[in-house]
């Protein structure tokens, strides 16, 4: 993956996280864990987790509803020529890692 691609993913992650902090309800706590951008920069998948875990669907509803506003926020605050369409997904890999960490602590 090119350095530019990594920079765009990092920028999007930071900007979307900033938007979520300023606009989302503090319950549940939504954490943007990563962003994956397509090779043509036209689509991006935003991965997130929540605390508590059982509020993932509520967070997903909020993120999908606010997706257009997030995209507009990124357009205004960045110099990206192409602002990708945003899709959202629960970061199941991060959930599994957290679960394994808890198991390791209990051993």
- Residue 27: give its domain's CATH number: 3.30.300.20
Nearest CA to 86 among 57, 46, 40, 47? 46
Strand partners, 59: none
Whether the CB-CB separation of 84 and 68 falls below 8 Å is answered with no
Give the structural domain span for 88: 3-106
What are 28-51's pLDDT values in tens digits? Answer: 899 999 999 999 999 999 999 998
d(CA 56, CA 39): 28
> What's the number of domains the chain is made of?
1
More confident of the two residues 9 and 100: 9
- Banded model confidence at residue 5, pLDDT cuts 50, 70, 90: very high
- Evaluate if residue 94 carries a pLDDT over 70: no
d(CA 83, CA 60): 20
Strand partners, 36: 45
d(CA 3, CA 24): 31
Q: Which residues contact 82 (CB under 8 A, 6 or more apart)?
A: 41, 42
What are 48-93's pLDDT values in tens digits? Answer: 999 888 889 999 999 999 999 999 999 999 999 999 999 999 998 7
pLDDT of residue 45: 97
């Amino acid at each position: 993956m090119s350095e530019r691609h990594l920079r765009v993913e990092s920028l999007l992650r930071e900007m979307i996280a900033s938007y979520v902090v300023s606009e989302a309800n503090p319950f549940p706590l939504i954490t943007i864990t990563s962003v994956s951008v397509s090779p043509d920069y036209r689509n991006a998948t935003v991965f997130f987790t929540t605390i508590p875990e059982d509020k993932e669907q509520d967070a997903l509803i909020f993120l999908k509803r606010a997706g257009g506003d997030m995209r507009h926020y990124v357009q205004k605050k960045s110099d990206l020529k192409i602002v990708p369409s945003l899709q959202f997904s629960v970061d199941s890999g991060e959930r599994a890692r957290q679960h394994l960490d808890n198991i390791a602590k209990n051993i």
